[in-house]
């Protein structure tokens, strides 16, 4: 979706859809991992994404005096629509982790853009700016997860 022409309502709706997808993705991954540390980390990420969704939904509903309705035809990040069996294969999980990293990067960029676009709206700008920072921290977690998976697959890096 083109960021430049979005209204506040469209930006919030898009962001809520993105947070829903991220939450579902991390929950699904956490269910399909046998690694207790990964399960805990992924459930935490899912919880954070749910908090983002709820925060954005509250702003949306307060501003527009209408209940947010998820549009089943909206897919923000198709790469996060993975099947449960893809989490079982090490190579697929490595791909999934890299996709998650890129998705968090894209989210951080989107939120940064929206913070600037709505700079004259203090609440919205701050919300989007805070979310950009949080997504950047999620990026770092996904990078660490990717590197751990890669090391598990190929052994430690030798420099």
Tell me the three state secondary structure of residue 1.
coil
Q: Is the pLDDT of residue 2 over 80?
A: no
Say what the pLDDT of residue 81 is. Answer: 82
pLDDT per residue as tens digits for the range 108-154: 999 999 999 999 999 999 999 999 999 999 999 889 888 888 887 77
What crossing angle do the helices spanning 122-154 and 90-117 adopt, rounded to 10°?
160
Q: What is the C-alpha radius of gyration for the chain, rounded to an integer number of angstroms?
A: 17
Residue found under tokens 């921290």: 137
The pairs formed by 85-92 with CB atoms below 8 angstroms and a separation of 24 or more are: 87/28, 87/29, 87/32, 87/33, 88/32, 90/149, 90/152, 90/153, 91/153
Lowest mean pLDDT among 11-20, 24-33, 111-120: 24-33
Which stretches does DSSP call E strand in the chain? none
Please report which helix (H) or strand (E) contains residue 124, including its range: helix 122-154
Say what the pLDDT of residue 1 is. Answer: 47
Q: Is the pLDDT of residue 102 over 80?
A: yes
Residue found under tokens 């925060």: 55
CB 139 within 8 A of CB 83: no
What CA–CA distance (Å, rounded) separates 87 from 41?
15
CB 23 within 8 A of CB 43: no
* Domains parsed from the chain with CATH numbers: 8-151 (1.20.1260.10)
pLDDT per residue as tens digits for the range 52-101: 999 999 999 999 999 999 999 998 988 788 777 777 777 778 888 888 89
Measured CA distances, 2 to 10, 17, 42 (Å)? 11, 15, 30
Say what the pLDDT of residue 145 is. Answer: 84
């Amino acid at each position: 979706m083109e960021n430049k022409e979005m209204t506040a309502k469209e930006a919030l709706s898009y962001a809520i859809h993105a947070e829903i997808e991220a939450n579902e993705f991390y929950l699904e991954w956490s269910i399909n991992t046998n690694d207790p540390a990964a399960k805990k980390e992924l459930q935490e990420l899912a919880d954070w994404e749910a908090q983002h969704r709820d925060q954005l939904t509250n702003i949306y509903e307060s501003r527009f005096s209408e209940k947010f309705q998820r549009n089943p035809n909206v897919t923000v990040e198709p790469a996060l629509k993975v099947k449960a069996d893809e989490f079982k294969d090490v190579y697929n999980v490595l791909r999934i982790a890299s996709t998650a990293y890129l998705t968090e990067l894209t989210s951080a960029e989107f939120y940064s853009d929206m913070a600037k676009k709505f700079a004259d709206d203090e609440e919205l700008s701050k919300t989007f700016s805070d979310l950009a920072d949080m997504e950047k921290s999620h990026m770092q977690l996904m990078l660490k997860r990717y590197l751990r998976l890669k090391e598990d697959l190929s052994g430690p890096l030798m420099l």
